[in-house]
Amino acid sequence: MSIVATEQNQSAIDRLSKQFDDLVGSKSDGQESSWIQSRRQAMQAFIQAGFPKKRSESYKYTPVSKWIEKHSHFANEAPSSLFAQSGPLPPLSAPDSKGKSGDSQSAGNRATKAASTSWKSKSGVEIHTQDGHISGSVVGNVPTGLTVCSLKEASLKHPQLFSAYLSKAVVLDRDPFAALATAFAEDGLFIHASESVVTDEVISIHHDGLRSESFVQPRVLIVAEKGASIQVVEHFPHLNAGRTFENRVAEIFVAAEARIDHVLMVERAEEALFVNSLFVYQGEKSYFRTNTITLGGGLVRHNLNFLPNAEECETHLHGLYVAKGYAHVDNHTLVDHAKPNCFSNEMFKGIVTDQATGVFNGKVLVRQDAQKTNAYQSSKCIVLDRGARTYAKPELEIYADDVKCSHGATTGELDEDAIFYLRARGISKDAAKMLLLEAFARDVVDLIAAEGVRNYLYDRLHHLLSVTK
């Protein structure tokens, strides 16, 4: 079976390679932009690495080849439709779409969104995307000094900024998916806060347009210049779009004394394959916080890479996942401390039930120069069902001798004594479990700054966990 999978993966790689050539030309004409050049490099890196093999250490617990096979229709998509601009799109030829082709004749084939799967922010800046690219206009008052536009627009209007940052944080050999997304992304999102721009207005990105059975590889670039401070919330709501494959790469730059508060919420459908590669680069005395929340999706893999590459950086890395049904959620993190006097705190929490799987792999690397590093990591997982699985692999690699580092990983069931205590007060068994699970999960949500997002997540968690049992 694995041989078949490998062959299929190889043919997928060949098809992708051909698609890439069709897109950008098989050979450089010597006049190419740096963007195209970096895409070529990325494609080379991808072809060399291929999709992660079954024996690949960093995908040991995540059967990605099985999913690639399941989603193999993706590589059949014609490039023209693959990377089409926003707006209604023609139906696609999906070879085994389980007789769903009838639907695909309908207007634009834009996925429908279930009610109550989004939140409304009172103010702030709002963006919607279609297949990962900005659709419609930016809503709300964009503060002076803040730029929100497509990457293409940025490359034309702000060429210096654009070339100063694009592809500077992504590490191509870190993960083949990141390389693939870097190669294919024709467009994406650009958010830039100029020096000393401080705003409390939340920049909300609603990734709520996705064609059925589509394969999209969008790209995100977020920059906060010196002393700037912004909040960015990205939401991937549940969509009835079948076997979608989203492979995105995001680069975030937090310059000296700047601050970025980032939230990412994934609630995609159970057939969706979702890979998110994040690269965060920090300057001196900067602050970065991310909350990576996964409440839906079939196979979700987060590659979260942090490079606090200057002194006195503060990095907070929080995550929460609830995996149900046959879902597989994998958080793969790397905090690479290269400079002294930095602080990082990592906390992941998971609830896994039914036949679902939760994976946490967290590496903290403290390089020789990074004296006086304080790095903390914790991973806690609650397993509610015998059929559910979890894997936790914390890794500390320390080359400096004057540091404070700790990690802890726990996996267990709900505390029976706590359930009994609640029941002894008249609370039913189900309500008691619910109360404990919500308390466990809220811990992470409480750390999100935007109140509207917090409340939205409390509601979603309540709903998700009450149908859990």
Partner 1 sequence: MLEIQNLHVSIEEDGTEILKGLNLKVGKGEVHAIMGPNGSGKSTLASVLAGKDGYEITAGSVIFDGADLLEMEADLRAREGLFLAFQYPIELPGVSMANFLKQAVTSVREHQGKETLSAGDLLKLMKEKAALVHLDPSLKSRSVNEGFSGGEKKRNEIFQLAMLDPKFAILDETDSGLDIDALRIVADGVNSLRSPSRSFLVITHYQRLLDYIVPDFVHVLMNGRIVMTGGKELALELEEKGYDWIKDETALLA
Q: Would you say 171 or 435 has its CB closer to partner 1?
A: 435
Q: Would you say 114 or 439 has its CB closer to partner 1?
A: 439
181-204 residues labelled b (16+ CB within 10 A) or e (exposed): bbbbbbbbbbbbbbeebebebbbb
Q: Nearest distance from residue 43's CB to partner 1, in Å?
A: 47
Q: Where are the alpha helices (H) located in 147-305, listed in sequence order?
A: 151-157, 159-165, 176-184
DSSP label of 320: E
What does residue 217 show for φ and ψ, rounded to 5 degrees?
Answer: -135, 75
Q: Nearest distance from residue 432's CB to partner 1, in Å?
A: 8
Q: Nearest distance from residue 382's CB to partner 1, in Å?
A: 12
Distances (CA, A) of 333 to 304, 307, 341, 394, 396: 5, 11, 21, 9, 12
Q: Nearest distance from residue 447's CB to partner 1, in Å?
A: 12
- Which residue ranges make up the site for partner 1 (CB under 8 A)? 415-418, 420-429, 431-432, 435-436, 438-440, 442-443
Q: Would you say 405 or 427 has its CB closer to partner 1?
A: 427
DSSP label of 51: S
* CA–CA dist 253, 280 (Å, integer): 6
* CA–CA dist 338, 456 (Å, integer): 37
Give Cα 347 to chain centroid, integer Å.
16
Q: Would you say 78 or 439 has its CB closer to partner 1?
A: 439
Q: Nearest distance from residue 420's CB to partner 1, in Å?
A: 6
> Bridge partners of 323?
352
Q: Would you say 54 or 442 has its CB closer to partner 1?
A: 442
Q: Nearest distance from residue 441's CB to partner 1, in Å?
A: 8
Q: Nearest distance from residue 295's CB to partner 1, in Å?
A: 18
Q: Nearest distance from residue 422's CB to partner 1, in Å?
A: 8
- Residue in 290, 279, 381 with CA at minimum distance from that of residue 330: 381
Q: Would you say 396 or 409 has its CB closer to partner 1?
A: 409
DSSP 341-408: S-EEEEEEEEEE-TT-EEEEEEEEEE-TT-TT-EEEEEEEEEE-STT-EEEEEEEEEE--SS-EEEEE
Q: Would you say 56 or 378 has its CB closer to partner 1?
A: 378
* CA–CA dist 345, 447 (Å, integer): 12
Q: Would you say 188 or 319 has its CB closer to partner 1?
A: 319
